[in-house]
């Protein structure tokens, strides 16, 4: 009886050892295969994609600063009012509606000049319009105001803006991502690998500048919108 128990115990121990050995082999294989997969998953390339689009401004804002100086307050006030009327008539003659032009600020100062009190009144008017061509025509004829005695001061000028950026953001981001993938595929080709999915991506800042490298930027209606995205692609 004792011999039979000993034999059974030996068989059980042998079977347990075999199972343990198999388990260690399988575990080692799975661990090694997992490490390989982890290393492969960690392989990636980071590239940048560029997208540019030429657009035209859809908003023009022209600020006109002018002033009158004199020794009599009522006279200076009347002169500044006359200049304001000339400016309104100028824009009306070009077809702008009355509400396109609005006061944007007034300043009055007095100082004693060798015993004579001098009064200065500064007035600011602002044209705001989406009619870009008409605004350009108005700027081209601004010397008509000078010939009428309206002297524009420093700070006067027109600014053109593009306000529909949100409308073109999605297609531009898509274009920048395609450009980034093309760069990643070239890298993968050179390194004898292939491009997988996106590991991570960062949308860059959208910039709106003057088209064709023109100086300034705000004083031209021709704009260039630009965005750069940074994309990290898996390699497989």
**What pLDDT shows up at residue 118?**
92
Q: Which residues contact 219 (CB under 8 A, 6 or more apart)?
A: 157, 158, 159, 160
Task: Give per-residue burial for 189-215: e unless 16+ CB within 10 Å, then b.
Answer: eeeebebbeebebeebebebebbeeee
Helix (H, G, I), strand (E, B) or coil at 226: strand
User: Does the predicted TM-score (pTM) go above 0.75?
Assistant: no
**What pLDDT shows up at residue 213?**
65
**What pLDDT shows up at residue 139?**
93
**What pLDDT shows up at residue 8?**
53
**What pLDDT shows up at residue 217?**
64
Residue 229: count of CB within 10 angstroms of its CB: 22
CA gap 72, 104 in Å, rounded: 24
CA gap 204, 173 in Å, rounded: 9
> Average pLDDT for consecutive 10-residue bins of the chain (236 residues)?
50 51 47 40 85 96 95 94 96 95 92 87 96 95 92 91 95 95 91 89 90 71 94 91
In the numeric block, the tokens 């898996």 are attached to 234
């Amino acid at each position: 009886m004792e011999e039979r128990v000993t034999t059974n115990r030996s068989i059980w121990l042998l079977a347990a050892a075999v199972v343990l050995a198999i388990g260690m082999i399988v575990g080692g294989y799975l661990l090694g295969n997992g490490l390989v997969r982890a290393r492969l998953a960690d392989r990636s390339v980071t590239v940048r994609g560029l997208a540019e689009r030429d657009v035209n401004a859809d908003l023009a804002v022209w600020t006109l600063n002018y002033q009158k100086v004199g020794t009599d307050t009522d006279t200076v006030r009347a002169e500044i009012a006359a200049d304001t009327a000339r400016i309104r008539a100028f824009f009306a003659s070009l077809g702008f509606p009355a509400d396109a032009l609005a006061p944007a600020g007034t300043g009055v100062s007095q100082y004693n000049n060798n015993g004579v009190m001098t009064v200065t009144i500064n007035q600011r008017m602002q044209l705001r319009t989406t009619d870009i061509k008409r605004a350009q025509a108005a700027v081209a004829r601004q010397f008509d105001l000078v010939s009428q005695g309206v002297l524009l001061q420093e700070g006067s000028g027109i600014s053109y803006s593009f306000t529909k950026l949100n409308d073109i953001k999605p297609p531009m981001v898509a274009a920048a991502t395609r450009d980034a993938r093309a760069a990643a595929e070239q890298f993968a080709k050179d390194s004898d690998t292939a491009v997988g999915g996106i590991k991570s991506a960062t949308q860059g800042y959208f910039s709106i500048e003057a088209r064709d490298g023109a100086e300034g930027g705000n004083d031209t209606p021709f704009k260039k919108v630009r965005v750069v995205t940074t994309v990290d692609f898996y390699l497989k």
